[in-house]
Amino acid sequence: MTDFLETIRNELESIHAVGVYKDERILLSPQQARIRTKHGEVLNFCANNYLGLANHPEILEAARNALDQYGYGMSSVRFICGTQDVHKQLEKSVAKFLGMEDAILYSSCFDANGGLFETLLTEQDAVISDRLNHASIIDGVRLCKVSRFRYNHADMNHLETQLKRAQKNRFRMIATDGVFSMDGDVAPIKEICELAKRYQAIVMVDDSHATGFFGATGRGSIEYQDALGEVQIITSTFGKALGGASGGFTAASHELVSLLRQRSRPYLFSNSLSPVIAATTLKAIELIAHSPDLIRKLQDNTLFFRKEIEEAGFDIRPGSHPIIPIMLGEEHLAKTMADKLLAEGVYVIGFSHPVVPRGQARIRVQISAVHEREDIDQAVAAFQKIGRELGVIT
């Protein structure tokens, strides 16, 4: 035990030494545009609370009502006594919203991805995965015995090469994030689907950073790329735009979802989603489907911030996603700038190597529908002040 703990202490020290030790910042308020911390109130530009549903009055009301109607916890897996009508309703609603035949709930999208590949594919098959895919896709693929191919990020020539290499396999599945969280860039899903048709592959998209708010009506990156109906498997989370509590799902054909219910390990061996979350997520989808103003406000805020920050002279990754990376280059600059912005009351996060490639350090801003114009004005002004101070802009 002494040696063991010593090894762990050394490991922790080396994490500190290279400057990537992650502290948790304690919030003293609910998740919203202005959050209270020990250091006072700050404007929050780093949550995945894209639509502001995490603390939306109608969402809170739905959650309170759900507690009274369904109780708090299920204390069971789905197939023993952990399924209420609200779980089935949510599965139907998710499937309908995305134009898929069926959907299955998980405790998280991490679990949805963890229980996907191993259930559907064997050593005869191949997964062809974007090099920058989320950790949960990587881990999900690791759990199964498929042949693994990777293609360079969003590189369709490389994907085609890998599809050719995988032609001897029984089935081929292309796996990609819909939106990549470090750049806010959208996978070329239309082109992926065309290649998939040409080389007989199944397409799986994890749309966690898009479901509910991205694309004209919130159907995600698949809608944004005009590929609705062409993707066979969609996984995503309720833990970001759809209320932000927790939970995830896989949406696909009836038979695929049925097999997941029989064999997918995180579904069979992990507790059922709390009914409060199921009912409240149902409400979130209803809000999104019936009132386009939340999505519109998020889009307006995003366009406005992108325009203002570019006009201020900052270098941002182009696009229209509410993830907006402000490119700084040097490693130390991202952290220094984020610290100084926090002192100005603007909470953003700096990312540097190894999370992003060396020399591409950045601050990632995330816009929400709960931001008001004056919040964005205040953030841009703070960026200008600190940007000048640090010589990022002139």
Ligand X SMILES: *Cc1c(COP(=O)(O)O)cnc(C)c1O
- Catalytically active residues, by annotation: 181, 209, 240
CA distance 257 to 226: 24
- Closest by CA to 134, choosing from 327, 355, 320, 358, is 355
- Closest by CA to 250, choosing from 101, 119, 104, is 104
191 burial level (CB within 10 Å; 0-12, 13-18, 19+): middle
H helices of the chain, where?
Answer: 2-17, 57-70, 78-81, 85-98, 109-114, 117-120, 135-142, 156-165, 189-198, 221-224, 254-263, 265-268, 275-290, 293-311, 331-343, 373-389
Q: What is the DSSP letter of 316?
A: B
In three-state secondary structure terms, 19 is coil
- Token pair 């990549």 in the structure block, residue: 180
- Contacts to ligand X by CB under 6 A: 108-110, 134, 136, 177, 181, 206, 208-209, 237, 239, 248
CA distance 268 to 260: 9
- For 344, 361, 385, the CA distances from 394, given in Å and listed in that order, are 19, 19, 10
The b/e string for 28-42 (b: 16+ C-beta within 10 A; e otherwise) is eeebbbebeeeeeeb
CB 206 within 8 A of CB 137: yes
Strands lying side by side in the sheet with 40-44: 34-37, 40-44, 346-347
Residue 367 region by backbone torsions, left for phi larger than 0, else alpha for psi between -120 and 50, else beta: beta
Following DSSP, what letter does each residue of 237-254 receive, concatenated? ESSSSS-SSS-EEEEE-H
CA distance 236 to 92: 15
- Listed in sequence order, the residues at least 6 apart from 160 whose beta carbon sits closer than 8 Å to its beta carbon are 195, 199
CA distance 227 to 203: 11
